[in-house]
Chains A and B, each alone.
Chain A
Amino acid sequence: MSEAIERFFDSLPSRAPAVLRSTVAGTIQIDLATGDGTTHWLVRLQPGEAEVTRARGPADAIWHSSEDLFDRLVTGRAQAIAAMLRNESTFGGNVVLFLAFRRFFPSPPGARDPRDIVRAQAGRPR
Chain B
Amino acid sequence: MKQIVSILDGNTFLVSDRRGDVEPSPDTPTGLFSFDTRFLSTWLLTLDGERLHALSVDEDRSFQSRFFLVPGEPTHYLDAKVSVIRSRAIGGGFTEELTVLNHTREEVEFTVRLDVGADFADLFEIKDAAIRKQGRTTATVGPDELRLTYRRDAFRRETVVTTSSPGDVDLAGITFRVRIGPHDEWTTRLHVSTVIYGSRGEDIRATLPLGGSRSPADIEAEQNELIAKAPKLGCDCQPLAGAYRRSLNDLAALRYESIALGVRLMAAGLPWFMTLFGRDSIITSLQVVPFLPELITPTILLLAGLQGNRLDDFRDEEPGKILHELRYGETAGFEEQPHSPYYGSADSTPLFVILLDEYERWTGDADLVRHLEAPTRAALAWIDTYGDLLGTGYLWFQTRNPDTGLENQCWKDSWDGISYRDGRLPGFPRATCELQGYAYDAKIRGARMARLFWNDPAYADRLEREAAELKIRFNRDFWIPEREYYALALDPEGRQVDALTSNIGHLLWSGIVDESRAGRVVEHLLGPRLFSGWGIRTLADDQGRYNPIGYHVGTVWPFDNSLIAWGLWRYGFRKEAGQICETMMAASQFFDGRLPEVFAGYERALTEYPVKYPTACSPQAWSAGTPLLLLRVMLGLEPQGEHLIIDPAVPDGMGRVELLDIPGRWGRVDALGRSRGPHDSDRGH
Q: What per-residue 1/0 map shows which CB atoms of A96-120 lie under 8 Å from chain B?
A: 1001101101111001111101110
Does B309 reach chain A (CB closer than 8 Å)? yes
- Least Cβ–Cβ distance between B526 and chain A, in angstroms: 37
Complex CA–CA separation, A120 to B330 (angstroms): 36
Does B182 reach chain A (CB closer than 8 Å)? no
Complex CA–CA separation, A99 to B304 (angstroms): 10
Given A85-B329, A114-B400, A119-B391, check contact A90 B198 (CB 8 Å).
yes
Does A54 reach chain B (CB closer than 8 Å)? no
- Least Cβ–Cβ distance between A38 and chain B, in angstroms: 13
B312-A87 in contact (CB<8A): no
Q: Total number of A-B contacts with CB less than 8 angstroms?
A: 121
A88-B154 in contact (CB<8A): yes
A99-B156 in contact (CB<8A): no
Contact of B389 among A87, A93, A114 (CB under 8 A): A114
A118-B429 in contact (CB<8A): yes
- Least Cβ–Cβ distance between B408 and chain A, in angstroms: 16
Complex CA–CA separation, A108 to B304 (angstroms): 22
Complex CA–CA separation, A25 to B390 (angstroms): 38
- Least Cβ–Cβ distance between A104 and chain B, in angstroms: 9
A114-B335 in contact (CB<8A): no
Does B236 reach chain A (CB closer than 8 Å)? no
B341-A81 in contact (CB<8A): yes
Complex CA–CA separation, A87 to B372 (angstroms): 30
Given A87-B156, A87-B199, check contact A96 B398 (CB 8 Å).
no
Does A55 reach chain B (CB closer than 8 Å)? no
B390-A111 in contact (CB<8A): no
B310-A107 in contact (CB<8A): yes
Q: What per-residue 1/0 map shows which CB atoms of B199-232 lie under 8 Å from chain A?
A: 1100010011100000000000000000000000
Does B464 reach chain A (CB closer than 8 Å)? no
Given A82-B335, A90-B204, A105-B310, check contact A118 B389 (CB 8 Å).
yes
Across the interface, name the chain B residue whose C-beta is closest to A94.
B209
- Least Cβ–Cβ distance between A23 and chain B, in angstroms: 5
Contact of B310 among A21, A22, A82, A111 (CB under 8 A): A111
Given A115-B391, A118-B390, A124-B390, check contact A99 B306 (CB 8 Å).
yes
Name the interface residues of B180-210: CB closer than 8 Å to any CB of A: 197-200, 204, 207-209
**What residues on A are CB-neighbors of B309 within 8 Å?**
19, 102-103
Across the interface, name the chain B residue whose C-beta is closest to A81.
B340
Q: What per-residue 1/0 map shows which CB atoms of B376-389 lie under 8 Å from chain A?
A: 00100000011011
Complex CA–CA separation, A113 to B319 (angstroms): 10
Does A56 reach chain B (CB closer than 8 Å)? no
Spell out A's residues near B (CB within 8 Å): 19, 21-23, 64, 76, 79, 81-96, 99-100, 102-103, 105-108, 111-115, 117-119, 122, 124, 126
10 A-B pairs with the lowest CB-CB distances in the bound complex, closest first: A86-B333, A85-B333, A21-B374, A99-B305, A82-B340, A111-B311, A107-B310, A92-B207, A87-B154, A118-B389
